[in-house]
């Protein structure tokens, strides 16, 4: 996938385009990407997704912006895996926010990017003061020579699929519902870095995964599967993960993602891993001392293993 930034003065070719934050790349986004691919094939042009960095709500109200489901890197990796030809990362700043809606259509979409076919969500707004909408895009399409369509909301179990719905599921500890909305397990990717070695001292050495999120959309203790840790290609390693501020040992600080991997002895500092969150075991708690924390970690590990055993038994029963 080709990644571009900035607005060209003039496009060198036409393209099929869809626009949005694509935070999480959930099933609603996947429906947009499927439609984008069909249009690109029909018109024999590249498919392109325009995303914003930072996301508009992060620019206007960083303290009130919702937790990101995906970092920029994770988002681009998911888009590439979906078969998108190009991703256009548009820097969202004060100057960009002041572009009038009509100017955004003519200068950015048509002249700069060469849009031939355009798709937006049914609630998409754009331009200064959010003055632009689908009605405006449709009214300008014949004059400026592009096709446009809106994709209606995608529903799962009576719920409109959205990044907000995924965040709500994760915040409530419902990893299974989040997975149904995403079409996959929710995951966080990052490089394994050195921590304070507390887990090793307690007898449960952990992989400390560096996160690139403004803040995590979930917290607590989880049963997880980890991709990329093993030197054996394709091997997925199971484990128990803690994502939080570790109140027993810290009075304040940023959230830390630590994963204890079952039956795993490899040295993995520096590796990029993907942690899939499958089931929440409990909330994070503060304990009186490290010995009590150690006993709880041991219980968490056993509970995570029990989750995977029960999951395997259910799968075996369903296969009969």
Tens-of-pLDDT digits for all 320 residues of the chain? 999 998 888 998 999 999 999 999 999 999 999 999 999 999 999 999 999 999 988 999 888 899 999 999 999 999 999 999 999 999 999 999 999 999 999 999 999 999 999 999 878 899 998 999 999 999 999 999 999 999 888 999 998 999 999 999 999 999 999 999 999 999 999 999 987 777 777 788 899 999 887 788 999 999 999 999 998 988 999 999 999 887 666 656 778 899 999 999 888 999 999 999 999 999 998 888 888 888 999 999 999 999 999 998 888 777 66
User: Long-range contacts of range 38-44, CB-CB < 8 Å, 24 or more positions apart?
Assistant: 39/117, 39/119, 39/147, 40/15, 40/16, 40/85, 40/117, 43/14, 43/16, 43/116, 43/117
Please tell me the predicted confidence (pLDDT) of residue 225: 98
Please tell me the predicted confidence (pLDDT) of residue 208: 92
C-alpha separations of 81 from 77, 78, 129, 200 in Å = 6, 5, 34, 36
Q: Is residue 7 part of a domain?
A: no
C-alpha to C-alpha distance for 90 and 7, rounded to whole angstroms: 8
60 and 152 co-located in one domain: yes
C-alpha to C-alpha distance for 5 and 264, rounded to whole angstroms: 41
Is the distance from CB of 276 to CB of 225 less than 8 angstroms?
yes
For the chain, the domain total comes to 2
Q: Is 243 helix (H, G, I), strand (E, B) or coil?
A: strand
Domain that holds residue 306: 185-319
193 and 294 co-located in one domain: yes
Sign of torsion over alpha carbons 116, 106, 25, 189: positive
Please list the alpha-helical segments (H only) found in 19-86: 27-43, 56-60, 72-81
Please tell me the predicted confidence (pLDDT) of residue 126: 93
189 and 151 co-located in one domain: no
Q: Is residue 166 part of a domain?
A: no
pTM of the model: 0.92
CATH code, domain carrying 195: 2.40.30.30
Q: Is residue 225 part of a domain?
A: yes
123 and 202 co-located in one domain: no
Q: How do the residues of the chain divide into helix, strand and coil, expressed in percent and rounded to 5?
A: 35, 25, 40
Q: Is residue 62 part of a domain?
A: yes
213 and 262 co-located in one domain: yes
129 and 64 co-located in one domain: yes
Q: Is residue 257 part of a domain?
A: yes
Please tell me the predicted confidence (pLDDT) of residue 252: 63
Residue 94 backbone zone (phi > 0: left; psi -120 to 50: alpha; other: beta) = alpha
234 and 311 co-located in one domain: yes
144 and 220 co-located in one domain: no
151 and 201 co-located in one domain: no
62 and 108 co-located in one domain: yes
């Amino acid at each position: 996938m080709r990644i571009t930034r900035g607005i060209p003065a003039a496009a060198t070719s036409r393209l099929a385009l869809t626009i949005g934050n694509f935070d999480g790349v959930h099933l609603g986004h996947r429906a947009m990407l499927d439609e984008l691919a069909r249009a690109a094939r029909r018109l024999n042009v590249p498919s392109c997704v325009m995303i914003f960095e930072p996301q508009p709500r992060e620019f206007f109200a960083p303290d009130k912006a919702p937790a990101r489901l995906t970092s920029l890197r994770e988002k681009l990796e998911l888009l590439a895996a979906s078969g998108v030809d190009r991703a256009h990362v548009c820097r969202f700043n004060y100057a960009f926010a002041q572009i009038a809606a009509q100017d955004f259509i003519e200068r950015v979409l048509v002249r700069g990017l060469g849009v031939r076919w355009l798709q937006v969500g049914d609630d998409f707004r754009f331009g200064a003061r959010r003055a632009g909408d689908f009605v405006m895009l449709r009214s300008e399409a014949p004059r400026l020579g592009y096709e446009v369509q809106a994709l209606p909301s995608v529903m799962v179990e009576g719920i409109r699929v959205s990044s907000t719905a995924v965040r709500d599921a994760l915040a409530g500890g419902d990893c299974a519902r989040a997975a149904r909305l995403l079409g996959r397990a929710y995951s966080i990717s990052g490089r394994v870095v050195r921590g304070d070695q507390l887990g090793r001292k307690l007898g449960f050495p952990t992989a400390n995964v560096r996160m690139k999120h403004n803040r995590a959309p979930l917290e607590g203790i989880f049963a997880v599967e980890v991709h990329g840790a093993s030197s054996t290609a394709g091997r997925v390693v199971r484990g128990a993960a803690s994502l939080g501020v570790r109140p027993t040992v810290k009075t304040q600080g940023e959230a830390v993602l630590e994963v204890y991997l079952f039956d795993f002895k490899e040295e993995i500092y520096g590796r990029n891993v993907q942690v899939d969150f499958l089931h929440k075991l409990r909330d994070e708690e503060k304990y009186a001392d490290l010995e009590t924390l150690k006993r709880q970690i041991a219980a968490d590990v056993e509970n995570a293993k029990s989750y995977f055993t029960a999951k395997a038994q259910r799968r075996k029963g369903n296969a009969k």
